[in-house]
Amino acid sequence: MKKISIMKLCFVSSFTILSILVAEPYRGGELRTDQTFQYGRFETRMKAAPGSGVVNSFFLYRDYWAEGLVGAQHWNEIDIELLGRYDNKVTTNLIIQNQWDLPDQTVVSFNPQENFHDYAIEWTPDYIAFFVDDMLIRYINNFYVDSLYHPQQLMMNIWQPTSVSWAGSFDETTLPSYALYDWVKYYAYVPGTGNAGTNNNFIELWKDDFDDYDRDRWSKASHSFDGNNADFTYANVVFQSGYMILCLTKPGDTGYNGDPLKLSDNQLPQLFQIKPPYPNPFNGRVSIPIKTNENSLINFNVYDINGNIIYKSNWTHHTNREKNIVWNGKNNKGENVSSGTYILKINNGTLIKNAKVLFVK
C-alpha cells in the first residue's frame, strides 16, 4: 500500500487541462497531525466505513517527501486498516525502508462497521503492538521494529484502492461511504514512569474529542498516491456532532450528507454504561457497577495483559437497574491469579465495555 504525498500541481496557464488529466474518479478524505511522533501509544474510537473496495485507517506515516527526500528507502509506516469487504476482520501492517511490508489480519467477534470500537497502536524501540477494545491482537518485536525509528505523523484517511485482490471489488453505487471517529488520544512513551498502556509505560498527553476542528493540531490533506482511485479533498473531512467524519464520495457529492439523527443514534455507549471498578488496585474482590437500558444477558470475561482469558461468566441484567459485577481474583478453576494488570470485558450482545484493574496479593 502506498501513501506517498504526490501533490498534483498545475501551471495556471494549463490548469484546466492538467486537472482533467490527473483527477481521480472519486473523492476521499485525510486528516493528519502537524506534529510528528517518535514512539508512544495512539488510540482512537472509530466506526468503520462499509463497502467492498473501501478502506479507512488509523496509522502513523513518515512523510519523507515533505522532508525533501525521494525514494522508498526512507519509508516508515504503522497501520490499522478497516476494509469494508470484511465484517469480522482488522488489518494491521508495518512498512519499512524499501517498502518491505508485514501485513496481517485478525478475526474479531464483531462487525467494525456496525458500532464504535477502540483501536490502539503501541510503538516503542523494542516492540509494536496492536489492540482492539484494549485486547492485544498482534505483537511484533523483530527487525521491522528496529527499522521504525523515524518520527512519523498520526493520520486517518478513507480511500478506494485500485487493488481488487486486497480491498475487494468496488461498486460506486454504494457511495457515499462514511467512517466516523469519536476521539483520538496520544500517550508519550515514558518507560518506568507512566500510568497507562503495557506495563504502565505510557502517559496521556492529549485527547481530541472532535467537538470542532483544532487547526493547531490537525491539517486536512489534498493529494493522492499510486494505487488510490480517490483524490483527498478538504470537503470530505467533516466535524459534526462530536465526530470527525471521513467521506468517500463521487466528485459532485462531497461532504457529509447523511442523516444527522443517525449520528445521535451512533452514541450507543450511552445505552450501556459501566462505572469505574472499585477498589482498584484490589486484593480480595473488585466490583464493577453496570447499567443498561434493555434486558440482556451480560457476558463477563477477564483477560491477562497478554490477551489470555482467565475467567468468564454470564449475568442476567434488567432494564434501568444498576448492578455490580464482582470478580474475586480467581480463575475458572477457583485458583488465585498472580499479581498484575487484568482487563475486564463486559458484553451485552451489542456493545462491549472494557476496564483495567490491578490485582495485588
Catalytic residues: 77, 81
Cell of 91: 488489518
Amino acid type, 183: W
User: What is the CB neighbour count within 10 angstroms for residue 8?
Assistant: 14
CB contact set of 153 (below 8 Å; sequence gap of 6+) = 32, 33, 34, 35, 36, 37, 60, 61, 62, 63
CB contact set of 310 (below 8 Å; sequence gap of 6+) = 302, 303, 304, 331, 332, 337, 342
Strands (E), 252-320: 272-274, 286-292, 296-304, 309-317
d(CA 246, CA 237): 5
Output the DSSP codes for 66-82.
TTT--SGGG--EEEEEE
User: Which residues are registered as beta bridge partners of 95?
Assistant: 77, 101
Identify the three-state secondary structure at position 209: coil
User: Which residues are registered as beta bridge partners of 245?
Assistant: 180, 238
DSSP H or E stretch at residue 188: strand 177-189
Asked if 41 and 202 count as a contact pair (C-beta separation under 8 A), the reply is: yes
Q: Is residue 315 packed enough to be buried (19+ CB in 10 Å), middle (13-18) or exposed (0-12)?
A: middle
Cell of 73: 528507502
